[in-house]
Amino acid sequence: MTAFPYTLTEDPRPCFGLVALQVDETIEDDFRRMFPLETARLHVTRVPSGAELTPETIAGMETDLPAAAGLLPAAVCFDAIAYGCTSGTTLIGAPRVQALIQSHARTTTVCNPLTAALAAIQALGLVRVGIVSPYIPSVAAPVRAAFQAGGLTVPDMLGFGECIESRVARISEASLRAATLELARRNTLDAVFLSCTNLRTLRLIPELEALLGVPVLSSNQVLGWHMAQLAGHGSVAIPGRLASARLP
């Protein structure tokens, strides 16, 4: 066989990485919606995670994060890499998540839903934020505490008391809508945050904002927004009022 001469080129599109939970059925679809193929490249890896999300299984994810990040293409210097777990970030800690990912993948920017949510809330000038979570109290409560530690007021929080991830991915839009409306009915809020990357929230956000008259944020939405903001990527399809917000 004769070796035929060839040249090398680089794809000019920005390149993003996503470390998704093994059990997450939602975040990858949401990211491909927010980062259209013609505007950005997206490489996805998975980190082992238990069928139940508990403080113990989250601790196991901390151990496995470097190996999961190491499965992203080594030749790529990513514009940003996201870790797709709100509760996981809360319990592991954002600085630790960043260090674990950067130890095995090339990027200067590591994003997570918790830091992204706080940045989005600040960019929108919000203070009183209610939270809807699918989880049991031991997993959901630390998110509320992290918001409060970030200077926010969290008057109320609703949860579905679920810990089985396959059920979280199948919580209906009707249930999410009802919980969000109930939370807003019994509190005066600047916004509602729908916590969890496995919840199917993206299509629901514009409708809820129209009903409530306040911003409605979700884990995947704020994570995609924050990645795009930090990377200076303008062609991103963020739903809701957050689309027009900019980092200070």
Helices (H), 103-215: 113-123, 137-149, 165-168, 173-185, 205-212
Same fold, 15-112+222-243 and 115-217: yes
pTM: 0.96
Q: Where are the domains of the chain?
A: 15-112+222-243, 115-217
pLDDT of 118: 98
Strand arrangement, sheet containing 157-162: 157-162, 129-135, 191-194, 216-218
d(C-alpha 203, C-alpha 123), whole Å: 22
Place of tokens 């238990």: 50
Beta bridge partners of 111: 82
> How does strand 41-47 pair with strand 157-162?
unpaired
pLDDT of 235: 85
pLDDT of 56: 82
pLDDT of 205: 98
Q: What is the pLDDT of residues 5-39, one digit of tens each?
A: 999 999 999 999 999 999 999 999 999 999 999 99
Thinking of the domain 15-112+222-243, which architecture would CATH place it in? 3-Layer(aba) Sandwich (3.40)
Q: In which residue ranges of the chain is pLDDT below 50?
A: none
CATH placement of domain 115-217: 3.40.50.12500
pLDDT of 81: 98
pLDDT of 182: 98
